[in-house]
Structure 1
Amino acid sequence: MDNKLLSIIVPVYNCESTIERCIDSILKSKYSNLEILIINDASQDNSKNIIESKYFNNNIVKVINMDKNMGVSFCRNLGIENASGEYITFVDADDYIADNMYKDMMNIINDNNVDCCVCDYLEVFLNGPTQKSKYKYHNDVLNRQEVIKRYLVDRISPAIWDKIFKADILKKYVRFNEELKVGEDILFCLDFFYRVESVYLLNEINYFYIQQEESVMHVVSPKLLQFKEVANSIEEEKYNYYSENYNEEFNYFKSAMFMRGIHSLTMLYDKQNKKQVMEYIIKLCEKEILNLHIKNKYTSKFIALETFIIKVFGVRIHLILSPIYIRMRAIIRKVNRGIR
């Protein structure tokens, strides 16, 4: 195998309880030619001391300590700029990887001459249960048109840590939008896929994604309203390209961003935050967007019905029915995994 250097970027902010498990899992990798770039984003806990005491003298680990907190997107962009590898990937400091992940994926990249390899992942909940992702990959190579089409309709994960990216493309063309607090990963992958020739989808679980209670997606916050801004943050040239060449898929993408925000808020709904959740969901319920999602051929029948109820009966009824929606979505997902 052509043993190309792989750069692994790990942003760290207040991760003292998980950073050792994360870095140790990478160091156990069966792929030997790698560098780990740890970007410590001015952590206020013991993360810096743990990193310096355990990894500072490891010759494949490079540590960058920020003087002030700049945010995860800034740190990832800094990692891209400082990466030496021909390929780049990312790991979140809460998570960990399978020891064969990079060996298998780099083998595939070399054997198939692709710009990116995507693997599957497992969601790991703090109280013990695990859940496979909803994505169904079949060990196939997609060209640029195919990968963009599938990505726009959520048939390819929008995460960054389940992918190995060709470094030349990232360094020349792709960066994280530092203004967005949600959806920045989604745009990053879309920008990358706009530049590729081919991508490999690997039917193998290699990444373990820890579900953290305090993450942005698990807290009722106005940041979740930024899902409205994701599509509008796409450069005009690319926006027009998607509209002209993938009209139905791009319409789904745009409306699905609003629904991501609505679903995230709905999952967090309780008696204590009822007023705030309603206020935020109402801001996401633009009539034109709801109509777009209901009518789109890529919207599942169940989600189309849920969206129709929001449109006709309003947010209050939607939230009353939310326990039913959540249970039904879990059942549908379980059934879909079973017939994989």
Structure 2
Amino acid sequence: MDKIKVSVIVPVFNNSEYIGATLDSIFNQDFNGFEIIVIDDGSSDNSLEIIDDKLKSTDIPYTVFHQENQGVSAARNKGIELSNGEYLVFVDADDYITQNHLKELYNGKTDFSLIQLVKKDGDITSEPYIYSQELISTKQFIEMELKMQIPFNFVQLMYKSDIIKSNSIRFSTDYIYGEDTHFALTALSYGDMIAISNEVTYHYIQHPSSAVRTSEFRRFDIVEIFEQLASFYREHGFDDLSKLIITSRIPKAIFGNMNYFFYNGYDFDDVINKMKELDLFSKLSKFEGDKKFKLKIKLFLLNPKIYYSVWKKLKNSID
């Protein structure tokens, strides 16, 4: 077998409506030396039939693995275990990539590389973020993410397989929201540089039935995820990153998800009670940084009901 440069890992669960187009976008890459790893996570529709039919017509090396339903994290972890590539790339079964996706990502030199992503929600397409540099240190990138200065999704990255496997980095199976960011920010801490491409090659399709949209208050899981990451950074000597999580990333995640619930019509008392249950008020108060954002938090903490009433009148966008 020729050397496998890249393993493309695709977790699938009841994605029969989309998986055919997703696989076609992978087949059409103008790049040689990659394999496809498809993990069927106990689909009950005809996803597996479509996968088998698609893959039998390609000469691209592939592996299809069927497991009982364990969740997308377990499926991705199995994909990592079965992979043979020098680098790893993840593509969700309802998204698609452009023909130059792997070509833009692969350079065979840096520990990581990154392309740009757009989100599609019906007729609305987001604007990509444009970087001013072609190379960035992993430390600087992590800091930018923790300060929420950049939009980021873990599928934008190509990961050096040795970093993932030698450090036993895996997706947490205990969460359905934020586990992918935790995976990426953990992996990046073991690397050196990220090669940057401003080409938009990943199209992230948002559907009403997605896990994030149906998870209700599980969105607040992101707080515990980041607390674990803060502990990891502290244990590995990255005290500045650990502090940045506590004083910036967690408060912003709490406030942003709180406003998400308000924006989507959740009952005020239900949101507030859940926040009290999770001790999120004290974690919000630890924010350090932008004065305008700090004032918003202060006003909310002084009187959540008044803040909500004013917010409702103004219909502020999610911060």
TM-score by structure 2 length?
Answer: 0.88
Pairwise CA RMSD of aligned residues? 2.6
Structure-2 residue corresponding to 1:334? none
Matches within 5 A, 1:199-238: 199-219=194-214, 221-234=216-229, 236-238=231-233
Corresponding residue number in structure 2 for 1:129: 124
Does the Cα contact within 8 Å between 1:7 and 1:84 map onto a contact in 2? yes
- Give the whole-Å Cα distance in 2 for the aligned partners of 1:209 and 1:323: 32
Unaligned runs of 5+ residues in structure 1 are 330-340
Q: Distance in 2 between matches of 1:62 and 1:11?
A: 12
| 1:149–1:274 Cα change, 3 Å | closer
Query: What is the match of residue 35 of structure 1?
Result: 35
Map of 2:280 onto structure 1: 286
Higher helix share: 1
Residue type of the partner of 1:17? Answer: E
CA change 1:290–1:56 in 2 (3 A) is same
Deviation at 1:89, TM superposition (A): 0.6
Alignment of 1:257 onto 2:253: yes
Equivalents in 2 of 1:322, 1:28: separation in Å? 47
Does structure 1 conserve the Cα–Cα contact (< 8 Å) formed by 2:89 and 2:155?
A: yes
Give the aligned partner of residue 157 of structure 2: 163
Contiguous gaps of at least 5 residues in structure 2: none
1:255 aligns to what SS in structure 2?
helix
Change (3 A) 1:317 1:151: closer
Distance in 2, matches of 1:124 and 1:204, equals: 16
Within a 5 Å distance, the mapping from 1:85-234 to structure 2 comes to: 85-106=85-106, 109-110=107-108, 113-126=109-122, 128-133=123-128, 135-173=129-167, 174-219=169-214, 221-234=216-229
* Deviation by residue 1:221-259 (Cα, 9 ceiling, x = unmatched): 232231221123237452345662336533212323323
Aligned counterparts of 1:177 and 1:27: Cα–Cα separation in 2:
29
Equivalent residues of 1:8, 1:88 under 8 A apart: yes
**Over residues 48-71 of structure 1, what are the superposed CA-to-partner deviations in whole Å (9 max), with x where a residue is unaligned?**
1111222245342321111x2010
Out of 183-192 and 218-227, give the one that drifted further: 218-227
Q: What is the CA deviation profile of residues 144-190 of structure 1, one whole-angstrom value per residue up to 9, with x for unaligned ones?
A: 43233223222344422111111110111211111121110111011
Q: TM-score scaled by structure 1?
A: 0.83
Deviations 1:17-47 (A, max 9, x none): 1111111111111112211111110111121
Q: Percent of counterpart pairs with the same letter?
A: 24
In 2, distance between residues paired with 1:220 and 1:319? 25
Whether contact under 8 Å (1:138, 1:201) holds in the other structure is no
